[in-house]
Structure 1
Amino acid sequence: MTAPAVTPYRSPLPTARDGFPQLLRSEWTKARSVRRWSVTLLAAVVITVFVSLLSALSGSFDVNGSPPPPTKGPDGAPVTDSFPFVHQQLTGDGSITARVSPLTGREGHIAPWAKAGVIIKASTDAGAPYAAVMLTPAHGVRLQSDFTHDTAGSSASGAEPRWLRLTRSGSVLTASESADGKKWSEVGRATPAGLPRTVQAGLFAATPELVTVQRHFGSTSVGGGPSEVTASFDRITVDGDRGTVVDGDRGTGTWRQDRVGADPTRAAGSPDRSTRTSSAWTLTGSGDIGPLIPDADLTQRSLSGAQIGLIPLAALGVLFITAEYRRGMIRTTLTAGPRRGRMLAAKALVLAGIAFLTGLLAAVLSFLLAEPALRDNRPNPASYPEAALSDGPVLRAVLGTALLLAAVAVLALAVGALLRNTAAAVTLIVVVFVLPMVLLAGLPVDAAHWVMKVTPLAGFAVQQTTPRYDFVNTVCLPENSCYPQGPWTGLAVLCAYAAVALGLAMWRLRRRDA
């Protein structure tokens, strides 16, 4: 008799898989199943937005009268455009050449970025397009145009005479320099925006104010004073359609003396003086030509709540691992996923995603609510560029804030895995970020900048949106949240700390009992 065939049992459930996607799903299930963790995420959003709004509303200013609106450059951005100008009309193609004497300042004091040279400008209106080739005391010969473009020439000292030439050919202006007026070298080329056929070609001298910084523990004072520069010009030649002017003595051109823009420092004792001899001009004046750097980064300040909002996310990062140790669940986790490194990597990836989305929501709300309040509270809102979420620097700062908070959460997870103690790990993370902020005000500027470069605090550099120009003197103070490094460089430092800490946590997790 033949035995009946036996059908093997088949479970209706899908076959279990021990892979990284399953680990991710498991960690995500843990994260969303603990209600108080969701409350922690909500607290991070609320704290970040609240602190940002509080900072915006408390930063009001009392101003007597209405400050004048800033000068706008060709692209609509605020600029500084104020200097004594000796000029004549130049129609069509042509050039202007002059030998510039050594630059001198008042009582021997001269700003490193004082400048004197030849310039071709669309008009005498402040903010009009221009290109200029100039001699500076500390930065050699430069070609600058339309306030934000700068090209370096030779490193000629401002203590030596230098021949300078600016030649127009259509819409292109070519700058050249020479030590003897015979052998010339090209400095660079510029294409100012919308130059008319008839422009103003001439001589100029300008210098920014002298800035002094006195720093003591708990207080910093930034002072400034009027500055002036004196330069002499000879061997002046203007070639154009109307003829040639040599040393201002021959030809059909007529020299005029004007002042471009207003100069508030002149009332403090820096009058312009333009004198002419038979074959030379001497200009003494103040003012400057360049971008107007706002005294505050409103976008960065609108995101300042992240400095406190990171604390709940750091606590969540620590609890994401220490809670399992405290309750003994880590053994179950490691049994289900015995590859410990992959388990910790899955936790880090899930936590980073949650923290990024939370940080992004907090950053967007903070910017939309705090930035308008900050602008309205400034003495002259027009001095600050309009900012929108779609602007490149603003979008980078908002997304960077979310990445910053995600990196902090991963760093906290790694510290929690290393210490296996919630209180100790949270305390360490808070100290790492808060203690440097407290110490910065008492350190010398160079030491404070070093701390901001090498500690995890560097990550907050990603929130900066104010452009920096090497040819503009600015005071970068730590208490103004001015970071010496670039935005992405600072964030990379923080991410490096998180990556190293996570690597150490994986190494120790593999070599230590659960």
Structure 2
Amino acid sequence: MTTPTTTPAPYRSALHPARAGFGRLLRAEWTKFWTVRAWLLVLAVAAVVTVVICQLGASGSTTGGGPPIVIGPGGEVVNDAFRFTHRPLTGDGTITVRVTGLKSTDGESLEPWAKAGIIVKSSLKPGSAYAAVVATPGHGVRMQWNFTHDTAGPSSDPAEAPQWLRLKRLGGKLTGYASVDGQNWTRLGEVGVAGLGRTVQVGLLLGTPDHQVVQRSFGSTSERSGRSSVTGTFDHLTLQGASTDTGWTSTDIGAPDPNAQNAPPNTTQVSATGTYTLTGKGDIAPEENSPDTVQMGFQGVFVGLLFMVALGTLFVTTEYKRGLIRTTFTATPSRLKVLAAKTTVIAAITFATGLPATAIGYTLAQRALRSNGFKPPEFPDLSLLENPSLRAVVGSAVLLSLVAVLALALGVVLRNSAGAIAAVVVLVILPQILSFAFPLPAAQWLLRVTPAAAFAIQQGKTYYPQVQHTCLPESGCYPLSPYNGLAVLAAYVLAALLLAAWTVRRRDA
């Protein structure tokens, strides 16, 4: 007679499997990391190297001896040099004009942001508050005020068709209008301009940015800049309002250009029929050629990145190499949970290390830059807790963390330390290096479509759309905005994690 046997019921934990299981996994992966002394050493070296290189890089940069700077109403460095035919206006009033032509005096094509229009300016002092309505050859009619603000109007080219412009002052409010026939007007906008006194200067403005040509070939960059000069014609100039002068006076706003001896002189001519012909140069816009002192404070991040890549890779490939991953998967059959736990741990550790390292390195770098001449008012003295400093510091720590996760994901896919490290270097670091040597279109393409776009998070300068500038990678300028650049890296990390999840479920341990 066979005695029946009773199969014992399998053990089931009383704890919630999702919560307790993942929590135990996190503790296990955390313990794995902190018990490997070599990894702790690499982490410490990464932090120290980041801080030291940030300070050393900033210590080697100096400035000084440049032309006088002009500070705008918002405290920013600006260009404020143009031909101004003006009269004082006391109280409210309206100025109207028709721009009938705009051409370059040297026979070259017009700069897209050349300007011919009308302006209300608080005084003749460079950097003073203003509002203007201008016609440009490349960007149509614009309403601009206080250097950094710009609103688009009709897309009309004054070199091809006349354009009527109007600017109305009512108290502290200025309203801009544009028209093609002088009868039907399009309202461009109403803005409040602080700093306008009861009496202001109103009139015609004419200017054009410098003509810049940048040529890039493999390994070399050449940049030529020449002061442009333009001629604009105006008619039907009227001013409604109280003015102490009966005639118009012409003035060159800003200091004379020492490099423009051979350029045509600035002139204003008035015909018997009331046509005003102005010839002038200069620009009224933000200045964007100064160095980016925020970005200059993060040179150590580029080197510290290499250590984070090594950590992210070794955190997973070491287990594959020694066969310990089988033990991990036996203890936790849900492989996706294991991947999630490893990702969480490496992301948290690298971010927690990178944040104080970048903060300390940036602070020391800014101190070194200020001692080398990068001082206010030309270069702002930004607190660590205000943007763009705060955004750049936290963003750099996020960058380090994301790259470590990218290395971990590729380590899962390739299961080889050298291969994963090489792949991350090719994706993140190599495009940054090549962008310094490639022709500009290729360099900017690389910094748009590769994870190296994430370095844009370190940009501190604002690049305004109403200023034509050449975005050079070696100057710390990136084609994408800071957050969009970081998003490119995040997209690569997400794709790599999805590939790692697919791989870890399909392959044997």
Task: Output the TM-score relative to the length of structure 1.
Answer: 0.91
- Distance in 2 (CA, whole Å) between partners of 1:238 and 1:402 is 56
Q: Deviations over 1:179-233 (max 9, x none)?
A: 1212211122221112111111111101110000121211101110010111122
Deviation at 1:381, TM superposition (A): 6.2
Partner of 2:82: 83
Deviation at 1:49, TM superposition (A): 1.9
Deviation at 1:121, TM superposition (A): 0.6
Partner of 2:300: 305
Partner of 1:459: 454
CA 1:241 to 1:59, structure 2 compared with 1: closer, same or farther past 3 Å?
closer
Deviation at 1:135, TM superposition (A): 0.8
Secondary structure at the counterpart of residue 417 of structure 1? helix
The answer on 1:334 being equivalent to 2:336 is: no
Aligned partner letter, 1:259: D
Partner of 1:255: 248
The counterpart of 1:36, out of the listed 35, 38, 41, is 38
Secondary structure at the counterpart of residue 304 of structure 1? helix
Partner of 1:23: 25
Query: Superposition RMSD on alpha carbons, in Å?
Result: 2.0
Secondary structure at the counterpart of residue 232 of structure 2? strand
Secondary structure at the counterpart of residue 143 of structure 2? strand
Structure 1 stretch 22-31 or stretch 201-210: which is displaced more? 22-31
Q: Deviations over 1:14-36 (max 9, x none)?
A: 97965212211211122222222
Deviation at 1:68, TM superposition (A): 4.4
Q: Deviations over 1:75-119 (max 9, x none)?
A: 121111111211111111111111112101122222110001110
Partner of 1:272: 266
CA 1:242 to 1:22, structure 2 compared with 1: closer, same or farther past 3 Å?
same
Partner of 2:423: 428
- Distance in 1 (CA, whole Å) between partners of 2:343 and 2:428 is 20
Partner of 1:103: 102
Q: Deviations over 1:149-197 (max 9, x none)?
A: 1011100112121111100111111111111212211122221112111
The answer on 1:286 being equivalent to 2:285 is: no
Secondary structure at the counterpart of residue 388 of structure 2? helix
- Distance in 1 (CA, whole Å) between partners of 2:422 and 2:310 is 9
The counterpart of 1:503, out of the listed 495, 498, 501, is 498
Partner of 2:185: 184
Aligned partner letter, 1:320: F
CA 1:15 to 1:207, structure 2 compared with 1: closer, same or farther past 3 Å?
closer
Structure 1 stretch 374-383 or stretch 175-184: which is displaced more? 374-383
Is the contact between residue 139 and residue 155 of structure 1 (CA under 8 Å) also seen in structure 2? yes
Partner of 1:213: 214
Secondary structure at the counterpart of residue 95 of structure 1? strand
- Distance in 1 (CA, whole Å) between partners of 2:341 and 2:256 is 61
Structure 1 stretch 377-386 or stretch 193-202: which is displaced more? 377-386
Secondary structure at the counterpart of residue 409 of structure 1? helix
Structure 1 stretch 293-302 or stretch 219-228: which is displaced more? 293-302
Aligned length: 491
Deviation at 1:130, TM superposition (A): 0.4
The answer on 1:74 being equivalent to 2:73 is: yes
Deviation at 1:327, TM superposition (A): 2.4
Is the contact between residue 226 and residue 270 of structure 1 (CA under 8 Å) also seen in structure 2? no
Q: Unpaired segments of 5 or more residues in structure 1?
A: 1-12, 244-251
Is the contact between residue 219 and residue 438 of structure 2 (CA under 8 Å) also seen in structure 1? no
Aligned partner letter, 2:415: R
Is the contact between residue 106 and residue 229 of structure 2 (CA under 8 Å) also seen in structure 1? no
Q: Deviations over 1:395-441 (max 9, x none)?
A: 11111101101100000101111111222222222232232233223
Is the contact between residue 75 and residue 377 of structure 2 (CA under 8 Å) also seen in structure 1? no
Is the contact between residue 27 and residue 347 of structure 1 (CA under 8 Å) also seen in structure 2? yes
Partner of 1:200: 201
Partner of 1:513: 508
Is the contact between residue 69 and residue 382 of structure 1 (CA under 8 Å) also seen in structure 2? no
Partner of 1:229: 230
Secondary structure at the counterpart of residue 147 of structure 1? coil
- Distance in 2 (CA, whole Å) between partners of 1:16 and 1:292 is 61
Q: Deviations over 1:431-485 (max 9, x none)?
A: 3223223322332211111111111111111111210111101110123232101
- Distance in 1 (CA, whole Å) between partners of 2:68 and 2:227 is 21
CA 1:371 to 1:242, structure 2 compared with 1: closer, same or farther past 3 Å?
closer
Aligned partner letter, 2:251: D
Is the contact between residue 71 and residue 78 of structure 1 (CA under 8 Å) also seen in structure 2? yes
Partner of 1:117: 117
- Distance in 2 (CA, whole Å) between partners of 1:81 and 1:32 is 58
Task: Output the TM-score relative to the length of structure 2.
Answer: 0.92
The answer on 1:397 being equivalent to 2:380 is: no
Deviation at 1:124, TM superposition (A): 0.7
Q: Deviations over 1:266-304 (max 9, x none)?
A: 445243111222323211111110111143211112112
- Distance in 1 (CA, whole Å) between partners of 2:73 and 2:246 is 28
Q: Deviations over 1:108-143 (max 9, x none)?
A: 222110001110011111111100001111111110
% identical aligned pairs: 47
Is the contact between residue 135 and residue 141 of structure 2 (CA under 8 Å) also seen in structure 1? yes
